[in-house]
Amino acid sequence: MPASHKLIRFARKSPDELIHDLIRFARKSRPERAATIRRYFGNWDLRIPHLGNDRTAYLVGLFGSGRGYINELILKCLGKRAKYFRETIRYHPGPTSMIYSGHATIKYESRGQAPPEVTARILEAVRSGFADLIFINRHPVDSLLTNWIWWRTYLRDNMQIGGISQLYKNSDGLCAELEKSFLEFKAFSEGDPSFFAALGGPRFLSFWEFVEEAELYLQSATLSLRMEDFATDPLKEFSKLLELMSVDCDLRRLHVPPPTAKMYRFLEVKQKVPQFRNFIAELDAGTKGRIERIGYTL
């Protein structure tokens, strides 16, 4: 989203919302505050650093994959190189020390994600050996539920949420909403443009396109990280990213919290909502095969 749009949305907030945002901002670390400012006011770098043998790092996740969690770990745990973190996607024709993080697609155009022509340049940089692509992956059905709730909340309330748990403290509320609004959920999963009619512009990925994009990323990534593995052993998984970036860090002193998002939430929803269970059972063979190939089961 352009910085001007973010500022407009910020200006429309109520006084109570602004006070809440300021308190959250004040509680952040210095690197996190700097990153927040860059999100609103853009990137004012006059020169691009390249220290030692660093390669440009691109941290990419499809919408609803948990990329924000990895962003926070980088800002808190990466040390000096974290100052080169930017929440945007920018191509460089050679190696740099920059760390870029964002949503992007390889094949399909999608609302809220950098287009394939941008990603193609990043993949060329990776193939040329002066950049690394770190792909953040999560079970696609969990991502589907997260994305549906995120977009419907944004469309109805003009509010961006951090995840399903921000609205529903347990799965019962989510299941009740899914039962009541299943036709809306199905339209979203099919990439129905009418879901986004109020906003205009491009639609979001259908579920089948989302799964195909994940498979394409796994074929191209330098390193792939699964959110489910972070929930089991966050230090082990984060150390893979540190190793790729050649960051010297004493792991014994490093505290890496697990993600707060619930993993495999869809299994509980599947048990409680028959329509959702049928939706999963009726997925086409190609999509089911891709889900298996990217390392997940239904």
Q: CA-to-CA distance for 194 and 108, rounded, in angstroms?
A: 18
Closest to 239 (Cα-Cα) out of 95, 250, 228: 250
Question: C-alpha distances in angstroms, 287 versus 135, 276, 293?
Answer: 20, 16, 10
Q: How far is CA 214 from the centre of its chain?
A: 12
Contact 187/25 with Cβ under 8 angstroms?
A: no
Stronger pLDDT, 235 or 30, i.e. the higher one: 235
34-45: average pLDDT? 53
104-114: average pLDDT? 95
Stronger pLDDT, 31 or 129, i.e. the higher one: 129
Predicted confidence at residue 248, as pLDDT, reads 83
Predicted confidence at residue 38, as pLDDT, reads 54
Q: Indicate if the pLDDT at residue 35 is higher than 90.
A: no
pLDDT class of 190 with cuts at 50, 70, 90: very high
Least trusted range by pLDDT, from 20-24, 192-196, 253-257: 20-24
Q: Indicate if the pLDDT at residue 187 is higher than 80.
A: yes
Q: Indicate if the pLDDT at residue 167 is higher than 70.
A: yes
The number of C-alpha atoms within 13 Å of 293 and in the hemisphere containing its C-beta is 15
Q: Percentage of residues in the chain with pLDDT exceeding 90?
A: 71
Please write the tens of the pLDDT for every residue from 62-99: 999 999 999 999 998 888 899 999 999 999 999 999 99
With the C-alpha atoms ordered 61, 67, 73, 75, is the resulting torsion angle positive or negative? positive
Stronger pLDDT, 31 or 296, i.e. the higher one: 296
| The total number of residues written for the chain in this structure | 298
What does the domain layout of the chain look like in residue ranges? 1-42, 140-206+261-293
Please write the tens of the pLDDT for every residue from 53-72: 999 999 999 999 999 999 99
Closest to 130 (Cα-Cα) out of 195, 56, 229, 29: 56
Predicted confidence at residue 250, as pLDDT, reads 81
pLDDT class of 1 with cuts at 50, 70, 90: very low
Q: Indicate if the pLDDT at residue 36 is higher than 80.
A: no
pLDDT class of 41 with cuts at 50, 70, 90: very low
